[in-house]
Structure 1
């Protein structure tokens, strides 16, 4: 069984809405059908497992909800594996997608997801993960120290290369393109690769240390994204920034099956799905999809981030990506970013359980 936990909010009956989610997202429709037999329901109907009532909400999460009071509860609903299988697009569609359109809900958020053993091995998972990132950077016993080329946009390839040279000489382990930089006319990816990789390889030859540079290869066309990947790999690169929301499940699956690079996941656009506390989904749910698909490193903001996300949310994201779905090998390397500097390191170290498995 695949078990989802929905945090639902309604001015009507919690129990009735929970039953409706289970029905509408599996065998039911808006009228009774002769074909919805007991045998059919026994095979593929979703079932409400548990309801845990929460304090009422002061106001509805959705403005058109009408008059309160607005009751809330966490509801566990189990979907038979026969109803969904192991395809992640089916999982997103059946267990998550349609639930948000159900009438009568003033709020709904997916807060947990537990996958059965059938998903173990059904997807490739990380190719490099924590251990591979350490091996390729040559960093053991401490966090991997990384930085981003700024300004994010506007630098020409030779200007980017000048900055990269300074950063390499300063001793960083990891450098990346900003997620917004892919292949604009003023800085085509091909020209950046030509300008940057000789610096990386020259430094490796002189010192034995190969700085990991993550080039932005994202593209809506999977074939073009693979051409970008191959360009980086052929030049001796070993990492790529992937804007996972922009390329989607299909693009990520296509890339991972063919990739020889460390895949550094940037979650831009994620905030659309999570910023309202009564709507969307928790990161602990969403990140499972991308880890199964094969991201190796996962950006999760940081302590005292420049963005809206509070520190507790960063810690929750850290715990999510470092908690095995099935085994430690499916964990991604957590990447603390967004306005980070050395002054945040002690608090980050303390709040993440004194780990050094961080970038």
Structure 2
């Protein structure tokens, strides 16, 4: 069947779906447009031409793709047809409510029969969304202002072991790290407020160390405490506890708390909100199912993420380098304005060795937080030497100097190359 395309309106919400089916991709594109707007499985007496003109979704783009021989979801057949369809949802029918958008245009489509694969690969929001949600409070510029770092990446690390350290033991690690000149430290995303290391006890042990270093040197290290909670009121209580002690950042497990709880926090927050996307892989790891990051990240940016973790070059996880690079560039693009860009957080098995390739592949930019866990904490000379090694690696990368050459005059980098450089990175976050 031929697909009849119409022109989108400037106020339309455009969602692009990659469709896979043993049948007709055109028929399934039409079914998405109908079922996810005004229609259902049977003709409706109230679905008049006037109502459809106002509220019905319409196909505005359609492109056949190469067929494949292995289905994304189990199905009988020898060939599975693929196409990419862009469907326009009228703003009048959806509004600027992200709950409505995710229900209508994103969430409901996977329940439709006939697909062996369906992936959402594009989202273009109209200007009517601009200003409806708070967006980042700090973002790139605010994160740089809070850390006092402008001409290089913000260098960060994670408290390791992730679980098990008491508040006092954690404070001892922090003391070593802040003395090294690190810019940013975070709780591991798995650490929130367990009995052996409650958030309150941890904040009271760590913040005096941060304040003492600030008093001594003028540099205030940004420490992101894990305050995620399913109860928004409890999360605000935790937020306020961090603020009272002089903290300026928090780690938020965004998929665990949900969009509503995050928005509740953002509207009341005075902390830089560092988003950990654990659980995201459930939504994206299969290439024929789920979401592209380019779609997912727009929702959280509107809600107000300040810093967004996106893996890194030669990451310890499954994500290929090309996917990381695309995610980095997605975050660098404004949705509506430069201020809605969060700070990309390069992470997952990073140490200084990936600095040159990260610099090259991201377009020779230093606008990011370079976050190393085991790559700092497991340095042979200790965490302080680990920080110095990463700083040296980035100095070399930006200056165009080979790391091995630079290591001749930077012993911490030489030690890191000896430990991490001869094997696949598996330590750190």
TM-score range for the pair, normalised by the shorter chain length: over 0.9
Out of 81, 95, 111, the residue aligned to residue 121 of structure 2 is: 111
* Structure number, greater radius of gyration: 2
**SS across alignment from 1:136:** helix
Out of 12, 16, 19, the residue aligned to residue 5 of structure 1 is: 16
Matched residue, 2:90? 80
- Cα shift readout 1:318-343 (whole Å, capped 9, x = no counterpart): 01111110011100100001110011
1:149 aligns with 2:159: yes
Out of 27, 33, 40, the residue aligned to residue 29 of structure 1 is: 40
Give me the whole-angstrom Cα distance separating, in 1, the residues matched to 2:68 and 2:289. Answer: 13
Give me the whole-angstrom Cα distance separating, in 2, the residues matched to 1:257 and 1:290. Answer: 13
Matched residue, 1:41? 52
| C-alpha displacement of 1:57 | 1.3
**Mapping of 1:1-359 within 5 angstroms?**
1-63=12-74, 65-359=75-369
| C-alpha displacement of 1:83 | 1.0
**SS across alignment from 2:118:** strand
| C-alpha displacement of 1:133 | 0.2
Give me the whole-angstrom Cα distance separating, in 2, the residues matched to 1:109 and 1:83. Answer: 23
| C-alpha displacement of 1:231 | 0.3
Give me the whole-angstrom Cα distance separating, in 2, the residues matched to 1:256 and 1:233. Answer: 14
| C-alpha displacement of 1:58 | 1.8
Q: Which consecutive unaligned segments of at least 5 residues does structure 1 have?
A: none
- Normalising by structure 1, we get a TM-score of 0.99
Report how many aligned residue pairs link the two structures: 358
**SS across alignment from 2:297:** helix
- Cα shift readout 1:33-52 (whole Å, capped 9, x = no counterpart): 10111111001100001111
Give me the whole-angstrom Cα distance separating, in 1, the residues matched to 2:246 and 2:180. Answer: 21
Give me the whole-angstrom Cα distance separating, in 2, the residues matched to 1:39 and 1:279. Answer: 35
Give me the whole-angstrom Cα distance separating, in 2, the residues matched to 1:284 and 1:193. Answer: 35
Give me the whole-angstrom Cα distance separating, in 2, the residues matched to 1:48 and 1:60. Answer: 24
Moved over 2 A (4+): none
| C-alpha displacement of 1:5 | 0.3
**SS across alignment from 2:283:** helix
Give me the whole-angstrom Cα distance separating, in 2, the residues matched to 1:203 and 1:263. Answer: 23
**SS across alignment from 1:228:** helix
- Cα shift readout 1:179-214 (whole Å, capped 9, x = no counterpart): 000000010000000000000011001100000000
Q: Which consecutive unaligned segments of at least 5 residues does structure 2 have?
A: 1-11, 370-429
**SS across alignment from 2:196:** coil
- Cα shift readout 1:229-259 (whole Å, capped 9, x = no counterpart): 0000010000000000001001100000000
**SS across alignment from 2:191:** coil
